[in-house]
């Protein structure tokens, strides 16, 4: 099949996945029981019954679940994701616009750390395989891989903030600095674009620990896959040919071996994005970082159905998109994939 048809099939499948996530999340969140109007209004629901009734009517809270889902879909078709009670009833789209840039910032930086550290240690581990260096690297990445993100986050907080005192304990930037105008919403980028480098530096410093906490949990898989891939490739015929031609070992390893060993990392990228996105839920709460992970926890605690759904849809879209890009890249690189 040609590439365009392959991409179309993947897009349709991705849309189906997002719709499924949305439906399952809707059903699960509405099966929690209880009356959300009490979660939203607190004791005012009892004190002011007419007020509670106004909320019930406006948000169809006592309608059957399928009726509520119908209203949700009808609003969604018009670009309205509802209003977020845990954010004092601002539009969910606005809440996402406020929080998503921070999560993107963390995730991007975490991806960079993951790939840089993962590839570096994968190369070193393969180069010095079956040596103490290899063993130490494997122990390091297995420890990170086996640790929950919030645990790693707390350890980093204690080490770099409490003990060493060189990094901040949380938040996204130093509020005593003047903020740049909202251009992309991503603090570092907006600061650079405006020439407000102090702000960008502050945003960067506040980014280090949350991103490192995420990366330390995910880099291990990159290291492990790259190590295995490199070791396999270094025993192939074309590598033997390269050596036979008289090329030095560094050229054989990096120019011929590493280049091909990196291909599996491409297919891993979608998994990395998935882990990083889900990890933000824990890490952002430890570092009080105002991103989507923190918003999702806030929405869950407040039985904020529209907020929960909005965050779930966004996360699903990001993960589906990452998988789609990975699939497309793989299909471009290896045409056999399209024919499958």
Chain positions 178 to 217 lying near other proteins, rule: CB under 8 A, are: 179, 197-198, 201-202, 204-205, 208
Name which position in 89, 140, 145, 151 contacts other proteins (CB under 8 A). 89
The answer to whether residue 35 forms part of the interface with other proteins (CB under 8 A) is yes
- For other proteins, the closer of residues 123 and 217 by Cβ is 123
User: For residue 213, which of 264, 165, 170 has the smallest C-alpha distance?
Assistant: 170
- For other proteins, the closer of residues 161 and 228 by Cβ is 161
Cβ distance 117 to 215 under 8 Å? Answer: yes
Q: Which stretch binds other proteins (CB under 8 A): 2-10, 63-71, 159-167, 265-273?
A: 159-167
Name which position in 288, 332, 333, 335 contacts other proteins (CB under 8 A). 288
- Least spacing, CB of residue 337 vs other proteins, in Å: 33
Contact positions with other proteins (CB under 8 A) in 320-339: none
Residue ranges in the chain assigned as alpha helix (H): 3-29, 36-41, 44-47, 49-58, 65-77, 92-127, 132-146, 149-156, 187-194, 197-233, 237-244, 249-250, 259-261, 263-286, 292-301, 305-333, 336-339
The answer to whether residue 46 forms part of the interface with other proteins (CB under 8 A) is yes
- Residues in contact with other proteins, shown as a per-residue x/- string from 250 to 279 under the rule CB under 8 A: x-----------------------------
- For other proteins, the closer of residues 264 and 302 by Cβ is 302
Cβ distance 272 to 264 under 8 Å? Answer: no
Name which position in 4, 31, 58, 78 contacts other proteins (CB under 8 A). 58
User: For residue 116, which of 204, 249, 216, 202 has the smallest C-alpha distance?
Assistant: 216
The answer to whether residue 319 forms part of the interface with other proteins (CB under 8 A) is no
**What does the alpha-carbon distance between residue 257 and residue 123 come to, in Å, rounded to a whole number?**
10
Q: Which residues pair with 91 in a beta bridge?
A: 83
Q: Which stretch binds other proteins (CB under 8 A): 3-11, 140-148, 175-183, 311-319?
A: 175-183
Please count the CA atoms within 13 angstroms of the CA of 45 that sit on its side-chain side.
12
Please count the CA atoms within 13 angstroms of the CA of 89 that sit on its side-chain side.
6
The answer to whether residue 239 forms part of the interface with other proteins (CB under 8 A) is no
Q: What is the DSSP letter of 292?
A: H
Contact positions with other proteins (CB under 8 A) in 67-86: 86
Total of residues contacting other proteins (CB under 8 A): 76
Name which position in 170, 328, 334, 337 contacts other proteins (CB under 8 A). 170
* CB-CB neighbours of 46 under 10 Å: 10
- For other proteins, the closer of residues 202 and 270 by Cβ is 202
Beta strands 83-84; 90-91: pairing state? antiparallel
The answer to whether residue 124 forms part of the interface with other proteins (CB under 8 A) is yes
């Amino acid at each position: 099949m040609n590439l365009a048809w392959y991409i179309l099939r993947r897009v349709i499948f991705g849309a189906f996945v997002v719709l499924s996530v949305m439906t399952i999340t809707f059903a699960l969140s509405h099966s929690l029981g209880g009356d959300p109007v009490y979660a939203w209004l607190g004791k005012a629901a009892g004190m002011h019954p007419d007020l509670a009734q106004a909320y019930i009517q406006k948000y169809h809270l006592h309608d059957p679940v399928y009726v509520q889902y119908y209203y949700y879909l009808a609003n969604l078709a018009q670009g309205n994701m509802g209003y977020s009670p845990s954010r004092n009833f601002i539009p969910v789209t606005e809440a996402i616009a406020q929080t998503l840039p921070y999560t993107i910032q963390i995730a991007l930086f975490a991806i960079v750390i993951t790939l840089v550290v993962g590839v570096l240690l994968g190369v070193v581990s393969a180069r010095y395989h079956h040596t103490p260096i290899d063993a130490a690297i494997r122990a390091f990445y297995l420890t990170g891989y086996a640790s929950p993100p919030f645990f790693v986050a707390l350890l980093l907080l204690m080490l770099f903030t409490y003990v060493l005192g060189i990094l901040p304990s949380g938040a996204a930037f130093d509020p005593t600095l003047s903020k740049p105008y909202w251009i992309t919403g991503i603090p570092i980028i907006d600061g650079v674009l405006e020439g407000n480098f102090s702000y960008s530096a502050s945003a960067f410093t506040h980014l280090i620990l949350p991103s490192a906490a995420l990366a330390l949990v995910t880099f291990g898989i990159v290291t492990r896959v790259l190590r295995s891939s490199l070791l396999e490739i270094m025993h192939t015929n074309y590598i033997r040919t390269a050596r036979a031609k008289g090329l030095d070992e560094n050229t054989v390893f990096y120019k011929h071996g590493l280049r091909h060993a990196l291909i599996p990392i491409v297919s891993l990228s979608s998994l990395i994005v998935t882990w990083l996105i889900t990890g933000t839920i824990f890490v952002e709460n430890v570092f009080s970082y105002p991103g989507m992970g923190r918003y999702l926890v806030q929405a869950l605690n407040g039985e904020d159905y529209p907020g929960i759904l909005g965050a779930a849809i966004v996360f699903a879209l990001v993960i589906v998109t990452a998988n789609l890009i990975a699939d497309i890249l793989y299909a471009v690189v290896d045409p056999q994939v399209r024919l499958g």
